[in-house]
Amino acid sequence: MKLLEIKGLTAGYGAGPVLKGLDITVDEGEIVTLLGSNGAGKSTTLRSLSGLVPNITGDILYRGQSIKGLKPEAIVRLGVSHVPEGRRIFPGLTVRENIMLGASNRKGLSRRVLEGEVDEMITHFGDLKRLENALGWTLSGGQLQMVAVARGLMAKPQLLLLDEPSLGLAPLIVQQVFRIVADIRSRGTTVLLVEQNANMALSVADRGYVLETGRLLVSGRPEELWNNPQVRAAYLGGSH
Amino acid sequence: MNDFLQLVFQGLGIGAIYALVSLGFVLLIRAASVVNFGQGEFSMLGAYLLVVFFNLWGIPYLIGMVLSVIIMAGFGLIFAYCTYWPLRFRGGLPVIISTIGASIFLQNMVLFLYGPSSVPVDDLFDTPGIQIGEVFLASQYLAIIVIAALLVGLQYFIFEKTLLGKKLQATSQDKEMASLLGIPVVLMIMITFAYSSALGGLAGMLVAPILFVSVNMAGIITLKAFAANIIGGYGSIPGAILGGLALGVAETLGAAYISVPYKDAFAFLMLLAFLMVRPQGLFGEKISEKA
Amino acid sequence: MTALQGPVLQGPGANPWRGLPAAGLAIVVVIAAASIAPAQGYYLNILMQAATYAIGVLGLVVVLGYCGQISIAQAAFFGLGAYAVALGTVDFHINFFVALFIGVVISGVCGLVLGLGTLRLGGHYLGMITISFQQILTLVLTNWIDFTHGPDGVRNVPRPNVFGVSLEDGRAYLGLILVAAVLVTLFVWRLKASRLGRAMQAVRDNELAASTSGINVYGTKVVAFGISAVLGAIGGGLFSGGFRYISPDQFSFGDSIVMLTMALLGGATSPFGALVGTVVLVLLPEWLRFLKQIYLAVYGASVILIMVFLPDGLWGFVDARTRKRVTTITGAVPPLPLLAQKGEATDEAVLVVADLAKHFGGLKAVDGVNLTVRRGTVHALIGPNGSGKTTFINVVTGLYEATGGKITFVGQDITTLAPHRRNRAGLARTYQNIRVFRGMTVLENVMIGAERQGNDVAHDPKAVVLRALAALDFVEMRGDAHRLVGDLSYGHQRYVEIARALASSPHTLLLDEPAAGLNLTEKVELGNLLKRLKGHGLTIMIIDHDMKLVESVADHITVLNFGKRIADGTPQDVLSHPDVIAAYLGEPRNEAA
């Protein structure tokens, strides 16, 4: 079943469009990855989906309904949670407070239930327990990413948008992050993943789209992309 | 010695006013990253509203105060809509300049409507005060100190203990991220402006019987509140309170024992001393930058 | 240098006579204008006010527009100049210009003292201290009646003679003021494209990057603030002679705010913006006089409207619509001298770090690390996030003070040197989250590197441009030389950062996660660029998580974990070390990252 359908999406920030007529679909329960170089429009796609890009044409259907033009607050209430590039952890709040605010989209949640869910989430990401009361700005890159994902999951999303979760992380942590991504899907959440680390992204994804200067270059299953010479040369670091 | 205690009490009363205005100031810095140079005008407008309601229209004092606070909260929204909203994505300086523009505008509108002379206002209570030993606790000063303490407690509770407070802080630290989490960012900012304006207005009404009501009361209050904020630690709530109190006591004592004409200089000398010796203020800044 | 061609010479800072003809013309025009101005009365006063304020506001362009420091005491410096002239001529019977000079010196000294006290601290502290200074000065002017005449002010300030010609006539004196305004404008405009001006803008855009690019950040800020204080006093001194009567309320906090507004309204990054802003704000109240009592209220509202509708100020609005497209600089330039050298890796120790420690409170970010980097090698520093790699680089480059240990660079103990001094010794770096000077062009960014003190081309403006172009050629970005660096993509900003470092002819280059945010193909390109740098004697230290990149370029690897060294040696040994696999790599020899 189609969860998300992007039709002819054109979007940008003033100096010409970044996306030029993009079509993408994501089925329920999939991990779909967007690949491409800097400036190809991967992050802009995610930002358009969550309502951060003001002027867009084309259409975005979520569960068959258009979400184009909705405010970010409204979109996240529908169950689309965005973990943006750079993690964006609130620097002056503690890890616990950051994670707690992840549930801001859910109405009528009692404080007691919320605290319970936060405890559960913190326990789930084992490392976070000892950092619970640390302020955001004191965390290292890997820790920030864990908190960002945990915070994104507190929204109980049906669709999780993950922007470059492996950026700047050590290999060991990258492996951990991708294990978490696979785990999120196995628990029923659909994931749209933007990555520079194409190897890792394709290893967990069901399908991938390769973007080039705001347009779709090619899409397909991981092995199809692996075997596409054009994709290999441009994004996978040449032949292997 | 008794003179001294008397002066300290008076200083605390004035300091509580600085603290209240400074609280509104800090709130806007923390929730919307806005340095509002029109903060003192909130106090001036609040005081003038009281003059209109009580002195001119004869509405009972307390009802007049409540009405004024409500109107000031609404005024905060208009203020935000004109000075902050159009410039919200443009960084700190443009907003500072537009709040300066607003401050010029408001002062001159009031000057146009009510003229330059100071207007006296009655005290909040009819009883002049309580005598304890040889120290006389004037009722207006007592009221200021008690109300300030209550509001400070309330604000601390909201910011540190409630989810609303956390959402306000999140909004101040990263508006876009806050909106991605489903926090109604616009509402958060509007709440802050409304509260900050009401708080400023209330401070103006409380100080009105002591300083009298005039257009010029705004400027000096803004600057003292600003100084209190820095002495306490930029953007810190407990800092704003302690800074305000310290400033009030220092300048009252300074005026009594050293020099009356240079009364206002003590606040700024204290500020200079802090900047040179302990620039992070009493409570320091919460967030530092990682290289 | 035979490759020098016409277009290249038009680079910023290349022409010492730039702007002089225009200034000469402007002087003729303003003198002509002054001669037809009314000899006295209201309009003469308006013109004098505009011209003298403009000089003060130009000071704000330097400190705020160029250097990014907020000063809210320009009216105080203006007042110091005004009072020096008024008291000097009236009470002490000193020559006008001598009195003006005294005022300038006093104001400059006050500026330096205030600056020296606060400019070590970042951000808003200067703004705060200037507010205090402003208030205190107003109180002193009002209350020290024996000396300043108090609130009554000083009357009958005389006007000077110049070369025996009396400027007692209003028009003649206006001519003097206008000529001064033109000269100050020229100075401020030329300053922007000078080495000092670029340093100020670099400080404004990114203090840390400025310091590790050889700029004395503190010194630059103090100088900028000093210049603004001096210009304020010049404006004020001339104002005093123009109006012949001054009082404390003319130099109040409110007036400082007005000057600040003038600068921002016009566009603080350009001297012409300051002129436009000053003239508009001096005239605006006059135009609004027909509104009678509420004209100041309308003035306040206009300030808000202008801020809302003209984001870059009035001049920014005009400039954006009239700016000519700058053509690319063509013509060959000599390549980076580095590439002409030959230098194989040697055993000579370039950077020796002994027992280095950096503690933040209880957190031991770097905890007794020993490390030796040898000349001509590529030395990689790897480890988990939070293991102390970036902190290590920050301590080595001087952004953090070491808690303990010793850093020796080319035989010199640099443990306690300021960052810019280390850069001048030949230590250049890039940053994990790119630090470029966003308000400046690509070429200007790289010129900052080229003109670092101690570089061979530093004292020749033309050669600086050529060196910067050569560095841009190396990263293949010459085509973007005149674009604002803030408009470039992330990957290209990274190359600008590397070019900036290379243009400074560094001895050792520290790269902090250069491959972060690049896709696999771009990473290969970066690897190729690093390989091109190898074998020329340049020593490179690199931090990165991309093991393919590290493996393909590194001669030597050091691994940190929890601030301690856990492995050190050749890539083969280190990457198969069990501790390294357990703490960092995870699954042995995976294809990740």
Could you tell me the two tokens for B86? 């159009």
Measured CB to CB, residues of chain C less than 8 Å from chain A are: 382-386, 432, 487, 489-491, 513, 516-524, 545, 547-548, 583-587, 590-593
Evaluate whether C540 touches C533 at the Cβ level (below 8 Å): yes
In a domain, C72, yes or no: yes
CB atoms within 10 A of CB A111: 10
Number of domains chain C is built from: 3
Q: Tell whether the model's pLDDT for residue B176 goes beyond 80.
A: yes
- Ramachandran area for residue C380 (φ above 0: left; ψ -120 to 50: alpha; else beta): beta
R_g (Cα) of chain C, nearest Å:
28
The reply to whether residue C519 touches residue A170, judged by beta carbons under 8 angstroms, is no
Q: Measured between CA atoms, how close is B267 to chain C, in angstroms?
A: 8
In which residue are the tokens 């054109």 written?
A10
CATH code for the domain of C571: 3.40.50.300
Looking at the fold, whether C216 and C77 belong to one and the same domain comes out as yes
Count of alpha carbons within 13 Å of C198, Cβ hemisphere only? 25
Q: Measured between CA atoms, how close is A124 to chain B, in angstroms?
A: 20
The reply to whether residue C253 touches residue B262, judged by beta carbons under 8 angstroms, is no
Evaluate whether C94 touches C101 at the Cβ level (below 8 Å): no
Could you tell me the two tokens for B204? 């103006």
For residue C209, what is the nearest residue in chain B, using CA coordinates? B291
Distances (CA, A) of C352 to B123, C407, C408, C471, C507: 73, 6, 5, 28, 14
In a domain, A119, yes or no: yes
The domain made up of B2-277 has a fold known as ABC transporter involved in vitamin B12 uptake, BtuC (1.10.3470)
List all chains that touch chain C, counting a touch as 3 or more CB pairs closer than 8 Å. A, B
> What is the edge-to-edge ordering of all strands in the sheet holding A190-194?
A80-83, A159-163, A190-194, A31-35, A207-212, A215-220
Which residue in C510, C490, C375 sits closest to C434, CA to CA? C490
Range of the domain at C484: 435-505
Q: Measured between CA atoms, how close is A198 to chain B, in angstroms?
A: 26
Write the DSSP string, C207-234.
HHHHHTTT--HHHHHHHHHHHHHHHHHH
R_g (Cα) of chain B, nearest Å:
19
Tell me the C-alpha distance between A176 and B13, whole Å: 58
Evaluate whether C383 touches C561 at the Cβ level (below 8 Å): yes
Domain boundary among the residues C322, C352, C383 is at C322
Q: Tell whether the model's pLDDT for residue A13 goes beyond 90.
A: no
Contacts of B182 in chain A (CB under 8 A): 72-73, 76-77, 104-106, 155
Number of domains chain A is built from: 1
In a domain, C11, yes or no: no
Looking at the fold, whether C139 and C168 belong to one and the same domain comes out as yes
Tell me the C-alpha distance between C60 and C74, whole Å: 7
Looking at the fold, whether C132 and C159 belong to one and the same domain comes out as yes
CB atoms within 10 A of CB C158: 19
In a domain, A80, yes or no: yes
Interface predicted TM-score (ipTM) of this complex, two decimals? 0.90
In a domain, C20, yes or no: no
Contacts of A72 in chain B (CB under 8 A): 176, 179-180, 182
Evaluate whether C349 touches C373 at the Cβ level (below 8 Å): yes
Looking at the fold, whether C70 and C203 belong to one and the same domain comes out as yes
Domain residue limits, chain B? 2-277
Looking at the fold, whether C188 and C147 belong to one and the same domain comes out as yes
In a domain, A240, yes or no: no
The reply to whether residue C300 touches residue B106, judged by beta carbons under 8 angstroms, is yes
pLDDT per residue rounded down to tens, chain C (593 residues): 334 444 444 444 456 677 778 888 888 887 777 777 777 778 888 899 999 999 999 999 999 999 988 888 999 999 999 999 999 999 999 999 999 999 999 999 999 988 887 777 765 677 778 888 898 899 899 999 999 999 999 999 999 988 888 888 888 899 999 999 999 999 999 999 999 999 999 999 999 999 999 999 999 999 999 999 999 999 999 999 999 999 999 998 888 888 988 888 888 888 999 999 999 888 887 777 777 677 778 878 888 887 888 777 788 777 777 665 555 677 788 888 888 777 777 888 999 999 999 988 777 889 999 999 999 999 999 988 878 898 999 999 999 999 999 999 999 999 999 999 999 999 999 998 889 998 899 999 999 999 998 888 988 888 999 999 999 999 989 988 988 888 887 778 999 999 999 999 999 999 999 988 777 778 888 888 898 888 888 999 999 988 888 999 999 999 999 889 999 999 999 988 998 888 888 765 444 44
Long-range interactions of B162-168: CB distance < 8 A, separation 24+: B163/A100, B163/A101, B163/A111, B163/A114, B166/A93, B166/A97, B166/A100, B166/A101, B167/A101, B167/A104, B168/B30, B168/B31, B168/B192
User: Which pLDDT score, from 0 to 100, does residue C228 have?
Assistant: 97
Given pLDDT bands bounded at 50, 70 and 90, which one contains residue B170? very high
Could you tell me the two tokens for C407? 């850093």
Distances (CA, A) of C81 to C88, C235, C246: 10, 7, 11
CATH code for the domain of A17: 3.40.50.300
A82 strand-pairing partners = A161
Looking at the fold, whether C265 and C392 belong to one and the same domain comes out as no
Q: What share of chain B is helix, strand, coil (3-state, %, to 5)?
A: 75, 5, 20
- Is A65 buried (19+), middle (13-18) or exposed (0-12) by CB count in 10 A? exposed
Evaluate whether C220 touches C67 at the Cβ level (below 8 Å): yes
Distances (CA, A) of C413 to C29, C39, C352, C373, C419: 58, 67, 9, 15, 13
Looking at the fold, whether C118 and C212 belong to one and the same domain comes out as yes
The reply to whether residue C125 touches residue B275, judged by beta carbons under 8 angstroms, is yes
CB atoms within 10 A of CB C570: 11
Domain boundary among the residues C486, C505, C524 is at C505
Contacts of B188 in chain A (CB under 8 A): none
In a domain, C380, yes or no: yes
β-bridge pairing C427-429 and C508-512:
parallel
Which residue in C284, C318, C81 sits closest to C180, CA to CA? C81
User: At residue C317, what is the residue type?
Assistant: F
- Which among A51, A101, A111 is the nearest to B181, CB-wise? A101
In a domain, C15, yes or no: no
The reply to whether residue C261 touches residue B230, judged by beta carbons under 8 angstroms, is no
Given pLDDT bands bounded at 50, 70 and 90, which one contains residue A63? very high
Range of the domain at A191: 2-235
